[in-house]
A and B are shown apart, each in its own frame.
Chain A
């Protein structure tokens, strides 16, 4: 039969191992998050096609989030939104360029007031104010963002890829779906 001392020692060691694991897990997650968040991407090193071509959407999809951010920052929104001349040989613009990088904005919240964007994990009061300034007041607006929209907002707010990393769009879609189901 194990002695009381043995039981106590074992319990203490188990507790110590648990606490050590907790500390290491927390610190590692924090350090990894900080390392991902502060990674700098030199914008000129990444080739970006400024004119819309048929290959552009495919290239954009295969780019890493960091490269997409760099391209969003370096892209000229005027040239991307320029209307395509109605000449015979002009191809239809790709969906990303046709929609434009800037997401649909509202001048003011709809009737009923703005949604609480802080329901999205990662958005705090300052980001709510910044998003409101961009005309984003509702969760369904965030849910409808395309990859280009995400890049544009990310560049405007200098979020360094946080929107993609924290899955704002997926979170917003989930919240909107739950709200619809419960309504």
Chain B
């Protein structure tokens, strides 16, 4: 994996990556539960 290929992928696939990142954001958000005292 070279920087050029990463740049290529980012340039063309960024909407998909963004969608996946948003899904991850939601999963991460919901995985936090307040500490029980």
Minimal Cβ-Cβ distance residue in B for A31? B32
* Total residues of chain A contacting the partner, CB 8 A: 32
Knowing A13-B13, A14-B16, the reply to whether A25 touches B36 (Cβ < 8 A) is no
A9 in complex: contacting residue of B1, B21, B24, B30, CB < 8 Å: B1
Closest beta carbon of chain A to B6's beta carbon, Å: 7
Minimal Cβ-Cβ distance residue in A for B32? A29
A26 in complex: contacting residue of B5, B18, B31, B37, CB < 8 Å: B31
User: Residues of B contacting A22 with CB < 8 Å?
Assistant: 24-25, 27-28, 31
A25 in complex: contacting residue of B5, B18, B20, B25, CB < 8 Å: B25
User: Residues of A contacting B17 with CB < 8 Å?
Assistant: 13-14, 17
Knowing A22-B25, A25-B25, A25-B29, the reply to whether A123 touches B36 (Cβ < 8 A) is yes
Knowing A12-B1, A14-B16, A30-B32, the reply to whether A24 touches B9 (Cβ < 8 A) is no
Q: How far is the CA of A93 from the CA of B18 in the complex (A)?
A: 57
